[in-house]
Chain A
Amino acid sequence: QKEVEQDPGPLSVPEGAIVSLNCTYSNSAFQYFMWYRQYSRKGPELLMYTYSSGNKEDGRFTAQVDKSSKYISLFIRDSQPSDSATYLCAMSEYSGGGADGLTFGKGTHLIIQP
């Protein structure tokens, strides 16, 4: 059963704070994990991509995967008002091909207060 849980928020934090966004999942076959950012009235855009367990860092963003706990996280350091958006986690059993088999979380609405 494909199921991804994500707290919809809203999550409101002051500018400069460290933000932690999380998803849990139940399908142990998921191997590929993504975070998408979606601004209001726009389509999602890929922010981070990781394979299997471990950490990946890109600028102010760090993605973390713990497959043993079926738990993934996205950390945003030195948060900016421009980071205000909805963050969607997504995961897949496959690296690519066909429909990609992406299963999305419901998204967390993040608000960074200036």
Chain B
Amino acid sequence: NAGVTQTPKFQVLKTGQSMTLQCAQDMNHEYMSWYRQDPGMGLRLIHYSVGAGITDQGEVPNGYNVSRSTTEDFPLRLLSAAPSQTSVYFCASRPRQGGLGNQPQHFGDGTRLSIL
């Protein structure tokens, strides 16, 4: 089982560049989320989606866009990269049915992004 697949695993960008972080899941999960993990800050929610065509903002959405055209894919776009966006980005998914205990979030292995 592939689970949640994130690409690329590593990326270095220059300030002002744009890029898309890819996330795909093969479990037919309705819910998908993007988090960033920074030293001393823990995991913070950027954007999330409860199904194809539906997205919403999390705690730290500024500078990021998302779309959900299919159940499987949930890309995260950096419009104009800034050094403050240097972080490790995690995508997660879980099915709609069931509570957190019965249906925990499945995380990908992350994309490590450096903005110079």
> What chain B residues lie within 8 Å of A88 (beta carbons)?
42-43
Q: Does B99 lie at the interface of the complex (its beta carbon under 8 Å from any beta carbon of A)?
A: yes
Nearest neighbor of A50 in chain B, beta-carbon distance: B101
Nearest neighbor of B95 in chain A, beta-carbon distance: A96
CB distance from A27 to the nearest CB of B (A): 14
CB distance from B114 to the nearest CB of A (A): 15
Q: Does A66 lie at the interface of the complex (its beta carbon under 8 Å from any beta carbon of B)?
A: no
Q: Does B31 lie at the interface of the complex (its beta carbon under 8 Å from any beta carbon of A)?
A: yes
Number of A-B residue pairs with CB-CB distance less than 8 Å in the complex they form? 71
Chain B 95-116 interface 0/1 with A at a Cβ cutoff of 8 Å (1 = within): 0101111011101111000000
Q: Does B40 lie at the interface of the complex (its beta carbon under 8 Å from any beta carbon of A)?
A: yes
Say yes or no: A43 contacts B90, CB within 8 Å: yes
> What chain A residues lie within 8 Å of B33 (beta carbons)?
99-100
If the complex has contacts A45-B107, A98-B48, are A34 and B100 also in contact, measured as CB distance less than 8 A? yes
Instruction: Pull 9 A–B residue pairs with CB atoms less than 8 Å apart, ordered by A.
Output: A32-B99, A41-B109, A43-B90, A43-B108, A43-B109, A45-B107, A96-B98, A104-B44, A106-B40
